[in-house]
Structure formats: C-alpha cells, structure tokens
A and B are shown apart, each in its own frame.
Chain A
Amino acid sequence: GAVVSQHPSRVICKSGTSVKIECRSLDFQATTMFWYRQFPKQSLMLMATSNEGSKATYEQGVEKDKFLINHASLTLSTLTVTSAHPEDSSFYICSAIAAGGPDGELFFGEGSRLTVL
C-alpha cells in the first residue's frame, strides 16, 4: 500500500530554536497533505491543510507564523516549528491524499515526536 514517511521520528531541541519535520509520500503523488498534533492521551488535532503549490490553510487557533508549512512538491510537505517552546512538545503526524486516487484513503506518516527542553 501507499507509504507516507516522516523525518525525523524523534527530535529534541532547545527552547527558542526552530525544528523542521518532513512528510514524504513515497510511492504516490499527494496534492493535499494534512498536519496533526497529538498530545499524550488525547486525539489528533488538525493543525492545517497543505496543498501543493499554494499556501496552507490553518485551523482556528493555530499560529501560521509559528508553524510554517511548505508543500513545494507533490511528494513533500514540511512543517517548521519556529522558536519552539516546551509547550510545543508534542507528537506531530502528517497524512496525505493520493492525487487522483479513487478511494480517497488517507495515508498517515509514522509521526514525529518533538521534545523542547
């Protein structure tokens, strides 16, 4: 089946630094990717919708200047957490929809755990 890969799977950074998380669709083209954040024992919270070649659409309450999303190609979307703080520590997950796919199935990445010290 289709594979979505995230990198890095784990990252630890100091407060105030920026961290980039990559989301790649390995064997299909993804016109749309979604970014989620998940805190311990909670559900996935949609942060933004990323469309190839256009600006991302952010959910209410998500700071677009803090969580920079770039979807420069049909196989790669990146999430950059700028000036990270301890409260940004979370599990970040991306998902992708296959371009032209008949089933509209969402394929999820393995997730990236960010720890901000």
Chain B
Amino acid sequence: LAKTTQPISMDSYEGQEVNITCSHNNIATNDYITWYQQFPSQGPRFIIQGYKTKVTNEVASLFIPADRKSSTLSLPRVSLSDTAVYYCLVGFRGYQKVTFGIGTKLQVIP
C-alpha cells in the first residue's frame, strides 16, 4: 500500500481557496487517489476520487500531475464548516484494505 504524506495542519481565512497536497511516491499503476473529510466524532466522508489529471465535482477539485506521485485537493472559497481533518488515501479503488495517514487538520478562521 502506498504511503502518503500530508501537512499536519493548515489555517485559512473564510472565502479563500485552500490547496492541500499529498505525496505518494510509491503509488502503483492501479492505484486511485481518494480524499475524505472527517469532522470530530463522525465517520469520514468521501470528497473526491481521481486517477490522473484533474477531477472536479460540486465540492472540490483534485489535481494529479503526470507522474502521479502527488495530488492536490483544492477547496474553493472555504467556510467555517469546512474545518475538519482531510485524509488522502491511495489504493485500488477501495477493493483492498486502506490505511489512513495522519491527515491534515484544516482550521478555517473567520
């Protein structure tokens, strides 16, 4: 399983765009990159998943360079409710056990 490295914490003001980068140097050919959000005392919630280039949905964008050794989750115009821990996971589309890294604690400031 590819190991991931993320910043432990980030602060951002409301309304700003936040980019969280995850390093996964040992990503395998079949591996997808998935980001989850977790609020205190809740289970993780799926945000976005991608394999290469760029993926966008209603809440975020995911940028993956050609070498796929890293990925960046982009949250446009964050609000206070986006304060949470964000996890980057790498694996074969969930058809195998996944292990969580430490995650990035995002604090949105008014």
Contacts and interface: CB of A to CB of B under 8 A. Distances in A.
Interface in A62-103: 91, 93, 95, 97, 103
Interface string A18-58: 00000000000000001010000001111001000000000
Interface residues of B, number: 22
Contacts, number: 55
A7 to B, nearest CB: 13
Interface residues of A, number: 23
Contacts of A43: 87, 100-103
Interface string B33-73: 01010000111111001000000000000000000000000
Given A43-B101, A43-B102, A43-B103, A106 B41 contact: no
A6 B41 CA distance: 13
A95 B100 CA distance: 13
